Amino acid sequence: MEAKVRRIKLGTQGLEASAEGLGCMSMSAFYGPPKPEPEIINLIHHAINSGVTFLDTSDVYGPHTNEILLGKLATKFGACFVDGKMEIGGGPAYVRAACEASLKRLRLDCIDLYHQHRVDTKVPIEITVGESKKSVEEGNIKYIGLSEASGSTIRRAHAVHPT
Is residue 135 a contact partner of residue 99, using CB atoms and an 8 Å limit? yes
The question of whether 114 is a catalytic residue gets the answer no
Residue of 61, 94, 114, 143 with catalytic role: 61
CA 131 to CA 161: how far, in whole Å?
10
Cβ(34)–Cβ(65) below 8 Å: yes
With H, G, I as helix, E, B as strand and everything else as coil, classify residue 79: strand
Contact predicate 80/86, CB 8 Å: yes
**Is 88:79 a contact under the CB 8 Å cutoff?**
yes
Q: Do 17 and 54 touch, CB atoms closer than 8 A?
A: yes
Cα–Cα nearest to 53, from 2, 106, 107, 5: 5
Instruction: In whole angstroms, give the CA distance from residue 7 to residue 17.
Output: 5
How close are the terminal C-alpha atoms of the chain, in Å?
Answer: 35
Catalytic (active-site) positions: 61
